[in-house]
Amino acid sequence: MVSIYERLDALNIALPKLTLPVAAFVPFLRSGNLIFLAGHIAKIDSKPWVGQLGSNLSTEQGKNAARAVAIDLMGTLHAAVGDLNHIQRILKLMVLVNSTPAFTEQHLVANGASELFAQVFGDIGMHARSAFGAAQLPFGSCVEIDLIAEVDA
């Protein structure tokens, strides 16, 4: 069986080290079999990926940003469980897209994250999802995603 890490290698994805939030909260928490991940904002070169869809970023750029967030989320999941092969299911993504009132392709932006979870985790990466337009995001970032996953006991 191909492990999650072999799939990541095949995609040339290196998981980032866990970065701790600069505030009074934590990047992840476990309760029973559920893991709750804090909202992760899109970053580029370790800085907030600033921009707004419908204004200065294209849907394709937003999709790339969402994919980058998914990689960071996987890095946090790895730090949370020690071994991504213990993940039973990616349950739920909430995808916030920094949007002007005219931009209506939040679902396409969110696919950048959803498709990577499916590629890396296979069937157990297929999740329920909500995607919508935020008026603005912390640090002016273009995308923010949080996640609930199920781990084995």
Q: DSSP H helical segments within 27-81, as ranges?
A: 59-81
Which of these, 122, 116, 114, lies nearest to 88 by C-alpha position? 122
Which of these, 152, 148, 32, lies nearest to 92 by C-alpha position? 148
- Distances from the Cα of 83 to the Cα of 70, 75, 134, angstroms: 17, 11, 33
**Residue 34: strand, helix, or coil:** strand
Radius of gyration of the chain (CA): 15
> Does residue 94 bind a copy of itself (CB under 8 A)?
yes
Stretch that binds a copy of itself, among 6-14, 61-69, 89-97 (CB under 8 A): 89-97
Question: What is the closest distance, in whole angstroms, from the C-beta atom of residue 102 to a copy of itself in the complex?
Answer: 7
From the list 25, 85, 122, 152, which residue makes contact with a copy of itself (rule: CB under 8 A)?
25
> Does residue 85 bind a copy of itself (CB under 8 A)?
no
Question: What is the closest distance, in whole angstroms, from the C-beta atom of residue 68 to a copy of itself in the complex?
Answer: 16
Binding site for a copy of itself (CB under 8 A): 21-29, 31-34, 36-39, 52, 54, 89, 91-94, 96, 99-107, 110-111, 114-115, 117-118, 126-140, 144, 146, 148, 150
